[in-house]
Amino acid sequence: MTAPAAPGAGVRLGLRANLAQFSLLVVVNALVGGTLGQERTVVPLLASRTFHLAAFTAALTFILAFGAVKAITNFFAGTLSDRFGRKPVLVAGWLVALPIPPLLIWAPDWGWVVAANVLLGVNQGLTWSTTVIMKIDLVGPARRGLAMGLNEAAGYGAVAITALVTGYLAEAYGLRPAPFLLGAAYIALGLGLSAAAVRETRGHARFEATRHVAAADHLGGHLTTWQVARLTSFSEPALSAACQAGMVNNLNDGLAWGVFPILFARYGLNVGQIGILAALYPAVWGAGQLVTGALSDRLGRKWLIAAGMLVQAAAISLVALGTTFSSWAVAAVLLGAGTAMVYPTLLAAVGDVAHPAWRARSVGVYRLWRDGGFAVGALLAGAVADAFGIQAAIWVVAALTAASGLVVAVRMYETLPHPPGAGEG
């Protein structure tokens, strides 16, 4: 009689050992980013030009809906992927996305756009969270920063390309329907690849758990979901510092998404120019992560995150001071560079600290806080802009971003394991 296979039999960790599946997940996450990118240039202009929403608090409701729903979905994505597996959650996220382009194309009033963004929040929460978790599962501890850099570079590179292309489509053919047909193609392809070609990775996390050494192993591998939420949000210094930095990062990303295009239009830029600026920031962000994710594997996480938040604060201040396409282009490059320093490094830090047995849930909690920043940013920026003007809203967000970087410098400890786990690569 054949003996039962040992736990983890046939499972290998590392980027090289899992290159085919890892590469497929990079492609899938690019499609996830493209689904988000279809809105970056066009939807803020729909608010002002098609639906004639004058108040910022009304115009930014689509970001509020997106951010609130995505934040909550992130939390459940981690929990569900631990319970049912990663692949079913990924496929479910794509199924939810199918109605989004028709809603945006045929929306007779702003409520339809908000409804589309509720679905977009669910889609992004399930699909992006799951691709992050699956890549962390596959690569193990030694290349975690590189893995997150590749993941986020693919996603936000696609956001940038799609924002640029939809800007040109809108300039040539109008705000609807052409830009959203591209989003429909992304969703169909993402669903097909995820259902037919992506393989389950939960076994890799279970294998890693049998030989795990991490920054917070004293916390143990058997925690309830409530304990994971409390540790990640408040009591574990590195995890809680990452949560607040992630929230502020996406607060300023929400500002860039919802407010910057309206500011640029007020200074006379056309839709094509606005599309270039809307693409430039995530393009630098996406490409930069190919460097910064791997750099964090060598230099560490803490100071890359703290410095990146301060660079973002400087960039947002430059947007408030600028009045020309050239000055805003410089600010967009700087904002993208600062965000690239922060984004994959925060995810890698969470992966460093969290035990594999509860890592997916911890990533979900972190992403709940991070993407809650969209909702907080929409409320804050809208209220301040309506009360004191658009520049005042931008200055407030710049100050909050600088303060967040200082919190990381004071509260976070270095999470990078030394030396990295042997045999990964």
What CATH number should be reported for the domain holding residue 204?
A: 1.20.1250.20
| 424 domain residue, yes or no | no
pLDDT at 16: 83
pLDDT at position 357 is: 80
How many distinct structural domains can be found in the chain?
Answer: 1
| 150-175 average pLDDT score | 90
In a domain, 303, yes or no: yes
CB neighbours (10 Å) of residue 266? 10
pTM of the predicted model, to two decimals? 0.80
Q: Is 13 a domain residue? A: no
Which residue bears the tokens 């805003």?
Answer: 328
Q: For residues 411 and 224, which has the higher predicted lDDT (pLDDT)?
A: 411
For residues 117-135, give the mean pLDDT.
Answer: 93
Element (H, E) at 220: none
Query: Residue 6 domain-assigned?
Result: no
Q: In sequence order, what are the residues at sequence separation of 6 or more whose Cβ sits closer than 8 angstroms to the Cβ of residue 399?
A: 313
Least confident of 144-148, 193-197, 340-344, 404-408: 144-148
DSSP summary character for residue 236: S
Q: Is 212 or 334 the better-scoring residue by pLDDT?
A: 334
pLDDT band at 213 (very low <50, low <70, confident <90, very high): low
| Per-residue confidence band for 249, with pLDDT thresholds at 50, 70 and 90 | very high
Taking the C-alpha atoms of residue 69 and residue 84, their distance in angstroms, rounded to an integer, is: 21
Residue 420 covered by a domain: no
Residue 163 inside a domain? The answer is yes
State which residues form the domain around 29: 19-208+216-411
Is residue 89 in a domain? Answer: yes
Contact yes or no for 349/297 (Cβ under 8 A) = no
Say if 4 falls within a structural domain.
Answer: no
